[in-house]
Amino acid sequence: MLFALTAAALGCLLSLVLRERHRKRRIRAGLPDALDLMWFYSKTGLPLDKTIAKVCKVLGNFHPDLSEELYLTSWEMRAGMRWDEALCSLSERTGMDEIKALTGTGLLGILQAVRMQSDSLRAARCQRLKRQAIKRGFVMALFLVPPLFLVTLGPETVELFRQLSQGR
């Protein structure tokens, strides 16, 4: 009974850890789009809290986890929290280095930081996708080519051996 309880507790803990890891991955995937939208809306003249609110509305269907975090940040700013404290709170909630890099910039430099961060995240995602494509190529060559040869050359090989054995 103790073993079953321990296994259940470890299973729940592992489930929570994996769920949080997957959530961070989804937030990281949507961050370049969110930063581009923030840059665009702030260039149109919207204040930062309204910019974040607008971005979370736009991203609601595509990146719901990131939208939820931005929504909380927007409400913190509207409730009277300073923008730098709200961004620090966002980085503490998510625990991501990409968001922590944004919190260290000043308000004047936030547009440039948003744009640079967006470009660097997009470049990192492209690099990761290139590495995954190379790995997939090796896997396909390893697991697809031998069965392909077996299926295409197998019957011919059997027929060749049959004819050679009859010829003797």
Backbone angles phi, psi at 48, to 5 degrees: -65, -40
In a domain, 155, yes or no: no
**13 in a structural domain:** yes
* Domain extent for 60: 2-131
Task: Let me know if residue 147 belongs to a domain.
Answer: no
What would the pLDDT profile of 2-54 be if each residue is shown by its tens digit? Answer: 878 888 888 888 888 888 888 888 888 888 888 888 878 877 878 878 888 89
Asked whether residue 162 is assigned to any structural domain, the reply reads no
Is 157 contained in some domain? no
Flag whether 25 is in a domain. yes
The answer to whether 87 and 77 have CB atoms below 8 angstroms apart is no
| Calpha distance 168→166 (Å, rounded) | 6
Tell me if 168 is assigned to some domain: no
Q: Is residue 160 part of a domain?
A: no
**61-105 pLDDT tens trace:** 888 998 998 899 888 888 888 877 888 888 888 888 777 776 665
**Cβ burial, residue 63 (10 Å; 0-12/13-18/19+):** buried
- Residues 97-119: what's their mean pLDDT? 66
Domain count, the chain: 1
